[in-house]
Every structure is written in structure tokens, then in C-alpha cells.
A and B are shown apart, each in its own frame.
Chain A
Amino acid sequence: MTAGAWRLLRHFDGEPGLQMARDEALLEHGGSSAVLRLYTWRPDALSLGYFQRFRDVPAAAGATSVVRRWTGGGAIHHADELTFAIAAPLEHALYAGPVVDSYRRVHALVIEALALVGVTARLRGDVAPLASDRAGSGMCFHASTPEDIVWDAAKGVGSAQRRRGGRVLHHGSIKLDTTALEGPIATAKVDVARLETALLTVFGRRFRLVADELTPRERRHAADRAAFFRSDAFVHRR
């Protein structure tokens, strides 16, 4: 692992479009920095994966608000969860090489953090289907791959990546509790602050985390772009 400092950002209870725009700013304007950003959503929102068709996600019609992500994968209802975003250069030790290897490295850290709050999680591997697997919903937590993090025989962390301009944006949703739109999935059932502390402990063992804020340029970018992520043009692009 590289010994370079990581920027640590926290944006709790953020408006959904603004949260997506902050991640875009870190993907596009983050330079050579590695960033760990932790956040929660207010109001709750359903995010569509970049390539998903709106009509293929029935839950989207019933969501409080809907945004579309730059990252791929399925839809997520962001309510009782801690979201992490990592933005880093592709050559960073976490992300160099095959995409699947980068998931294994990042998920090993998340599994370690979950252990600190008493959740014994593992990679799904070849043990499938999970109790959370369900066809036809378009929801991230209802589909699983060998690299997904599971406990209680169900998926508890959803994650996806976008790779652009030599950088990667990696989204992860760690579920604290489920919602009506998600149904039965694995949930950590801990306070968000405890999970945050655990993640910072684990990442802090590997990397030097430095508390930071968005730069003025990143902040301007996020403010200018927040409306785009909840716009009909983007949400209904497919």
C-alpha cells in the first residue's frame, strides 16, 4: 500500500444531487489525490446505476427522490446506510490491475471494519444464490457477484465503480437497516457513528488520513452540478 496521505471528507445528511456532484468533483478535479469521503443522505433517495433504464427499476416510481450515479451496477435505496466514496488515481495500489482485484482489496478493508462493530462478513464467493437475491427488481442488493460482501446469507454492502481520466470513483453503501424498497437484505444494525469510527480505524491503519474539505474549485463544481444528477434529463436518460 502507498504511504501517501489520503484526504478524508465527511458530508452527513446531504441532499442527494449534491452528494453525487461532490463525488463527480472528486473524480474530475481530485488531481493525484486519494480521497475517502463518508456520507449519508437527506432526504433518502434511490440512485440508479449509470446504464440502468428507469422503467427497469420499479422501486424508482415510489422513491422520495431519484438520482442517477456515474457508477455502474444496480439501484440502491439510500436511507439507513453509511455511504463511502473513494476517489483515487487508477495506479493507486488499491486500484491497479484488474477491476475484480480492486474490489477484493477494498472489500477486505470493509469486512475488517464490519468485524470491529461485531458483524462477521465475508466475500460471497461461489456460495449462491443469497437470501437477498431476487430477479427483476433492478436493485443492487438483489443481485450478487463473488466479490460482494455478505453476512446472514444476504448481501449487506453494495458497491460500484466509474473509471475516467486516469481516476476511479468507487461507491459503497453499507446497510445499517433495510427499507421497504430494499426488503430482506443483510444489515449491520449499529449506529452510523460506530461504523464510521470502525472504517476510519481500518483505513487509518493502512493510510494516513488527513481531515479535509472540498477545495473551492470542487465546491463550486458540486454546487453547479447538483441539479443535474436529479434532473429528468439524467435520471430518465435511459
Chain B
Amino acid sequence: MRPDDRKYTKSHEWVLLDGDTAKVGITDFAVDELCSGNEGDLVYCDLPEVGRILEAGATFGEIESVKAVSDLNTPVGGEIVDVNPVIAEHLEILAKDPWKGGWMIKLKVTDASPLDELLDAAAYEAHITADQH
């Protein structure tokens, strides 16, 4: 079971709200789809500068595995107030610790309304189970 303290998107991002700040990352399922258990296949992750304003759904970065580049999209809108400095040199953290150490950006949230439309852990579980069949 994935953590039930956060919400999930169908495109496999997660968002954890703490007051008016939100952390955004990608799920273990997303990482596994990119690298099929071989974390060394993750080769690059481009994250934005602090201060950038993003609308909900906007692309905030890009991740490259050996064979695919994928956009990263924020589920909520706001201003980026922090970017995880560990990821650039330690992409393996996305596979080893996707829920805590693998957060990608922190946003000061200006538009939290999309949260109501996102999936809780049980619904996300059901979504990826359906995806696999």
C-alpha cells in the first residue's frame, strides 16, 4: 500500500500538502515503469529554478531513463520554494526512497483546488492495478 497521507495523479505523481506548502514527487510505479527495477537506467533529471510560478498541470521538469524522456507535471499550482538538491547527483534516491527523500519540488500553493480531483492511495492502487491488466 502506498502512503495514505498524500494524493496521487493518474500520471503517477504524488503531492503531499503541509499547510500552504506542497511537496511533489513521482511514485514507485512511475520509477519502475521507467527503469524496470534497474535504477542505474535513470540517467538525468532536470528540475526547475526556485521562484518559478507554475499552474496546476504544468510541466516542471523532465526525467530521462536509458530509453525515454518523460515530462514531470505538478498536480497543484504555486511558486517553487525549494528543489531537492540530492536528486541531481543521486537519481537512485527516486527508486530507493520515492516517498520521503525522493521529493522533487516544494511549492507555496496558490491553487489547491485540483487536490479534490486527485486519487487517494486506495484509488491510485486500483488505477495502477487496472493499468497492468
Which residues does A use to contact B, with CB under 8 Å?
Answer: 50-51, 70-73, 96-101, 103, 145, 147, 159-166, 168
Contacts and interface: CB of A to CB of B under 8 A. Distances in A.
Contact of B67 (A51, A70, A103, A165): A103
Contacts of B44: 51
B67 A99 contact: yes
Interface of chain A, main secondary structure: loop
A98 B67 CA distance: 11
Contacts of A168: 68
Given A97-B33, A98-B36, A99-B36, A70 B66 contact: no
Given A98-B36, A100-B36, 18 more contacts: A50-B64, A51-B43, A72-B43, A73-B66, A73-B67, A96-B131, A97-B131, A103-B67, A147-B67, A160-B69, A161-B68, A163-B68, A163-B69, A163-B71, A164-B70, A164-B71, A165-B71, A166-B11
A51 B46 contact: yes
B68 A99 contact: yes
Contacts of A99: 33-36, 65, 67-68
Closest 8 CB pairs of A and B: A161-B68, A72-B69, A163-B70, A164-B71, A100-B36, A99-B68, A72-B64, A51-B44
Interface string B16-38: 00000000000000001111100
Contacts of B34: 98-99
21 contacts: A50-B64, A51-B46, A51-B62, A51-B64, A71-B68, A73-B66, A96-B131, A97-B33, A98-B33, A99-B33, A99-B36, A99-B65, A99-B67, A103-B67, A159-B67, A162-B68, A162-B69, A164-B59, A164-B70, A166-B11, A168-B68
B132 interface: yes
A96 B133 CA distance: 10
B67 A161 contact: yes
Contact of B69 (A70, A100, A103): A70
A160 B68 contact: yes
A160 B71 contact: no
Contact of B132 (A50, A73, A97): A97
B67 A100 contact: yes
A171 B66 CA distance: 14
Contacts of B11: 166
Max count, chain A CB within 10 A of own CB: residue among B32, B34, B65, B69: B69
B130 to A, nearest CB: 10
A1 to B, nearest CB: 16
Nearest to B66: A145
Contacts of B69: 50-51, 70-72, 160-163
A101 B33 CA distance: 9
Nearest to B70: A163
A112 B35 CA distance: 26
Nearest to A161: B68
A51 B32 CA distance: 21
Contacts of B70: 162-164
A5 to B, nearest CB: 24
Nearest to A96: B131
A86 to B, nearest CB: 13
A147 B90 CA distance: 25
A166 B62 CA distance: 14
